[in-house]
Structure 1
Amino acid sequence: MKKNDEKKLNTEQQQMDNLVALKEENDTLFSQLTNKNEEYMVKLDKRLTEANYPDDEKTRVFNDMLKEIVSQQSAGVTARKLYGTVTERSVEIVEGPQQETEGQVQRSENWKLYVDGALMLGGMFALITGLSALFGNESNTTGMGIITLLLNFIVGGFVILAITKNAPVQGVKGSLLRYILVSVVAMFGWIIVMTGSMAIIPQSLNPLMPPAVNLVIGAAAFAGKWYFKRKYKVKGTLF
């Protein structure tokens, strides 16, 4: 019994020593963070404290994170790019990685979500514009300008990316309100860019295209979205 007790005490002491070493290493790594990454970790620490996440476990998780962040930040990779938003990361730490069940999947990289969103919103707007011009009653309705079309794809990708990244997280307070606000602001900004380009850019620089061309571009965009999503296995998109 004495030997077992002594062995248990030695194990516990070793674990405590390891934790102390990890905390010291974390302090050293933390001092090497950029301002943006430091702010990320401070907010994450606050979220985990509010969730009553054990300090010992937090020390171990932070050690792994800090090592990766410090090694990547010299290449311009931020903590947010590595781990997603503070909310997403805190939920993943507390609840564990989300499984691909019940329609809940992990999201793909931002650039994949951007391309998928650009093809979707750009293609949808091109189809709607083409159909409206083709079957509309107004004789002067001839389609959409080339620059406006390009802006629609470029800006549309950012709009869908912003909406997707701020999708409400179950159990996270305020996530639904943030999702609604981001969606409204993003869509409003998109509308301003579209209407503004048609009103401000001279028609000589932004020539209108026939309805049939808009329809072909819209159909091609949706076909491209389907191919891109299948080829790169894009996950977590709106559609």
Structure 2
Amino acid sequence: MSNDKQARNAGVQQHQKSKPASDLPEELTKKNQDYLYHLKKALAAEPKLTADKQQAAIDEAISKMLAGQKTGQTARQLFGTVTEHVANIIAGPKADPNAPQNKWLLMLDSSLMVFMVFNLMYGIMFFFANNSKVQTGQAGILSELILAIVAGYGIMMMQTSMSARGKKRIPLWRMLIYGVIFFIVLTGTYTLVMLIPGPLNANLPAPVYIVIGVVALGLRIYLKSHFNIKNTVF
């Protein structure tokens, strides 16, 4: 019996040595201390996390555990299993779906969309019509680019205004006024770009328009995926 008791005492002492009290805040419950102990071991075994990131994750976990204890929440309820929590730490914070989008990325996306539509439209049209029937400058590549930039800016402003919340939200009547102003500006821009001389704004062959349109589409898809651009027209 004495040998068994000594063995048990030795096991307890070894467990206590592997889990120093100084590393486990006394303010935490026993369950949370045990969770924190295994969390530290899991973080230390993860090569993707530096010592600073490990300590930051531990400090954050302790802070949330202490706050959770006030409402009776355990670490398991707050973070899930230790394995799940470590995976979330490695993945980093999730992007807020309601966070405001970068205005310039929205403008670029909208401009690419308009530029794509123009090029595909003229490319298909020129397959069935003689290029000479289309006035020089009407389908010029420079005209398309300028119109796409102006339209992209206007669409971006409309998008950001419609997605605004709270006090920043613009009334519907003001949105309608902005829409009318945008249409007038776009029409005036179209009239002006028609005056750009032919050598600088010449029409292109139909296949070239289609290729440019497809490239613009591919670039837009890549940018939307790479920068996680949301709340776009389509």
The normalised TM-score by structure 2 is: 0.50
- State how far apart, in whole Å, the 2-side matches of 1:138 and 1:234 are: 37
Which residue of the partner structure matches residue 201 of structure 2?
A: 206
The corresponding residue for 2:178 is 182
Confirm or deny: 8 A CA contact 1:166 1:182 kept in the other structure.
no
Q: Partner of 1:145 in structure 2?
A: 140
Deviation at 1:189? 1.4
Aligned partner (choices 114, 118, 127) of residue 121 of structure 1: 114
Structure 2 gaps of 5+ residues are: 1-95
**Does 2:215 align with 1:217?**
no
Contact 2:161–2:170, Cα closer than 8 Å, also in 1: no
Matched, 1:155 2:168: no
- State which structure, 1 or 2, has the greater radius of gyration over its C-alpha atoms: 2
Identity %: 29
Cα offset for 1:217? 1.2
Alignment partners' CA distance in 2, 1:176 and 1:169: 12
Q: Could you tell me which residue of structure 2 aligns to residue 164 of structure 1?
A: 159
- Using the TM superposition, give the Cα deviation of residue 169 of structure 1 relative to its aligned residue in structure 2, in angstroms: 5.6
CA distance in 1, matches of 2:163, 2:231: 12
Over residues 103-136 of structure 1, what are the superposed CA-to-partner deviations in whole Å (9 max), with x where a residue is unaligned?
A: xx44311111111111111111222222223224
8 Å contact 1:130–1:214 — kept in the other structure? yes
Q: Which amino acid aligns with 1:115?
A: L
| Structure 1 residue 140, shift from structure 2 partner | 1.8
One-letter amino acid of the structure 1 residue matched with residue 151 of structure 2: G
Query: Which deviations, in whole Å up to 9, do the C-alpha atoms of 1:43-79 show, x marking residues without a partner?
Result: xxxxxxxxxxxxxxxxxxxxxxxxxxxxxxxxxxxxx
C-alpha displacement at 1:205, in angstroms? Answer: 2.2
Residue identity in the other structure for 1:216? V
Q: Give the gaps of 5 or more residues in structure 1.
A: 1-98
- RMSD over aligned CA atoms reads 2.7
Matched residues in 1 for 2:222 and 2:150: separation? 21
